[in-house]
Amino acid sequence: MKIVAYEVREDEREEMKREADRLGVELIQTPEALTEESLKLADDADGVTVLTKTRIEGDILDLIAKKGIKVVATRTIGYDHIDLNAAKNNGVHICNGNYDPDGVAEYTIMLILMALRNYKQALFRANANDYSLKGLMGKELRNLTVGIVGTGKIGRKVIEMLQGFGCKILAYNRSEREKEGLRFEYCSLEELYEKSDVISLHVPLATTTRYMINRESIAKMKDGVVLINCARGELMCMDDIIKGIESEKIGALGLDVIENEEGIYHQDRRSDILSNRNMAYIRQFPNVTMTQHMAFYTREAVESMARGGIQNIVKCLQKEENPNMLC
């Protein structure tokens, strides 16, 4: 069995090789994204594994199918870079990654606390030997209502962690799931918007969720609402978010993702001119904390992603039960 791994980071390389050796797989690794040119590496391959720089759609997907490659495994949980319908039509199986939700959930809690306690400004001042307190008064989480949009693995883990703070927790999911001992209330999305002091997004990117945070939804929220996004940047319409910050309707913003981050995040662009104007503009606000899509980035998660890229292909080819198979 031969697998080609694309977009391999140095922190994945050894774990991926160990897993391939354990499973008796011939493995080729490259830091390149999967393109028409780099697909030549996958001659006679049974499967390929990618990250999000590679878009599995259109001509590339046709070429993958023509080469007889049976499985594409993304090492990410999100799969909005893959056209599942086209993959089905081409007879190509798609799998996504899996890792424990703790890392992203912990990071979400961190961003909430940083936003509530004005940490960005406190840090900037301290770096300039300004230790004044004016404008830094925060809020205590125990007295607030937190709205969780999406109660999948990560959303539920955030709820579990929030319980220790004593805050009221509201949640919305397209279909209500069993609470399994967690203390929160399901409500409509409109009610969540209206009643929450803090709103955190934990839904996948789809046609129904793209730009779900927009001018209309922001208008329904409390004045001074805190918004947190560790999911996908395209869940928010950044033009409307910026207007919300400028009008002070949005009290604080914590972003680990942003629309059109591709080609910027996870790269050193210090000497470059960035074309993402919204990113360049919004980061200057004192109440906006931005990080470079790293909520997932823990040793445990990276190792799980690296192993999963190999395991999912092997399971699929050997027709084993695999909860990560998407089609």
Domain spans of the chain? 2-99+299-317, 102-290
| Tens of pLDDT, residues 69-91 | 999 999 999 999 999 999 999 99
Q: What pLDDT does 250 receive?
A: 98
232 in active site: yes
Given 232, 234, 259, 307, which residue is catalytic?
A: 232
| Tens of pLDDT, residues 180-200 | 999 999 999 999 999 999 999
| Tens of pLDDT, residues 129-149 | 999 999 999 999 999 999 999
Q: What pLDDT does 81 receive?
A: 94
Q: Give the 3-state secondary structure of residue 323.
A: coil
Identify the CATH number of the domain defined by range 2-99+299-317: 3.40.50.720
Given 234, 259, 261, 303, which residue is catalytic?
A: 261
> Which residue carries 């001042």 as its tokens?
125
**What mean pLDDT do residues 202-208 have?**
94
pLDDT category at 288 given cuts 50, 70, 90 is: very high
pLDDT category at 165 given cuts 50, 70, 90 is: very high
Amino acid at 135: G
Q: What pLDDT does 317 receive?
A: 95
Q: Cα dist. 297→36, 237, 284 in Å?
A: 29, 25, 24
Q: What's the rounded Cα separation, in Å, for the pair 234 and 232?
A: 6
The alpha helices in the chain, defined as continuous H runs, are 10-23, 58-66, 84-90, 102-116, 119-127, 153-162, 189-195, 215-219, 238-246, 277-282, 299-317
Q: Give the 3-state secondary structure of residue 251.
A: strand
Q: How far is CA 214 from the centre of its chain?
A: 19
Q: Give the 3-state secondary structure of residue 186.
A: strand
283 in active site: no
Q: What's the rounded Cα separation, in Å, for the pair 29 and 5?
A: 5
Considering the chain, what percentage of its residues have pLDDT values greater than 70? 100
pLDDT category at 5 given cuts 50, 70, 90 is: very high
Domains 2-99+299-317 and 102-290 share a fold: yes
Contact predicate 167/177, CB 8 Å: no
Token digits for 4? 């080609």
310 closest CA partner among 293, 324, 300, 290: 324
Q: Which CATH class is domain 102-290?
A: alpha beta
| Tens of pLDDT, residues 20-46 | 999 999 999 999 999 999 999 999 999
* Beta strands at 71-74 and 47-50: parallel, antiparallel or unpaired: parallel
pLDDT, averaged across the chain: 96
174 in active site: no
Given 12, 293, 303, 307, which residue is catalytic?
A: 293
pLDDT category at 280 given cuts 50, 70, 90 is: very high
Q: What pLDDT does 204 receive?
A: 93
